[in-house]
Amino acid sequence: MYKREQENNLKDRNSYDEIDLSVILHYIGRLLRKIVSLILYMFRALANNIATVIITFIVVVGLALGVYTLLKPYYTSSMTLVLANIRNEFIEDQLNKLSEMIEEDNFEAVAERLDITPASAKEIKEMKFINLDQDRVEEDSVLTGSPFRIELSIYNPELFDSLEPAITTYLENNRYFARQKRIKQKQVENMISKLKGEISSIDSMKTSVSEPRGPVNGFVYGQPIDPTNLYKQSITMYKEQVDLEADLEKLANVEIVTGFIPRLKPTGPSLSRFLGIGGLIGLLIGTGVAINLESKKRRRAGLA
């Protein structure tokens, strides 16, 4: 008795599954037939109204071409800079503020920050900041002293030469960066001054040893004077002085690695992109108009 009930339940469940599967297949078939019918209807509408589609396509592409001719060509170039043990996010924040001024067409403020004319500031289209070592740094680490790229888009390519030092000076004139530079400069200058004093003292000792006046016992603070060591110390200190003076000359928080390169051909706007987008939009609009006309024809035929 119990086994028979189980067999009946199993038969009912199988028949229920078969019914569900057949219903699903039925709906899928109906959906595919509707899609195929819609595609055929669309092609029929295009074929019956091909002239309208072509005219619409030409008109929209012509409009896209007209918009392209009205747009001002721009030129894009980039320069790479490196920081002197300064967190890159400080530079990024400073450049992002300048970029916001450019986006808001605040040409007076941009001209003031970069120390250029407002007319030159109006020629700047866009500026981007890119960290070159961002992917190499762990998420919980701070990016410091890493090279970064400034990508600049301008309408007048002749301004790249003047904007390169303008942007560098703008970054150097940051109050925090300028203070750090003054501290380093003072440290180096103090070391150079001390080395000069030490070298002068050794030179005096060399003179006393080589040209003694009066009795010379050959001892300084109980140690015998070795002229060879004096010369070696003098040369070593002089080399350190020269190195520090060289560091003083190139002391900067921001240094240019590669500057902007001149551009002869504009970066944009792209004619092929405008024509491609215009053609696609024209085709979509033409198809919509053709389907609309075809449906009106069918309604009229049905009424007749």
Tell me how far apart the alpha carbons of residues 127 and 110 are, in angstroms, rounded to a whole number. 12
Tell me how far apart the alpha carbons of residues 184 and 248 are, in angstroms, rounded to a whole number. 9
- pLDDT for residue 5: 56
- Residue ranges of the chain with pLDDT lower than 70? 1-20, 85-86, 134-145, 178, 180-181, 205-227, 230, 247-253, 302-304
- pLDDT for residue 196: 81
- pLDDT for residue 87: 73
- pLDDT for residue 210: 57
Q: Identify residue 105 by its one-letter amino acid code.
A: D
- pLDDT for residue 101: 94
- pLDDT for residue 222: 47
- pLDDT for residue 56: 93
Tokens of 213: 């006046």
Residue 85, helix vs strand vs coil: coil
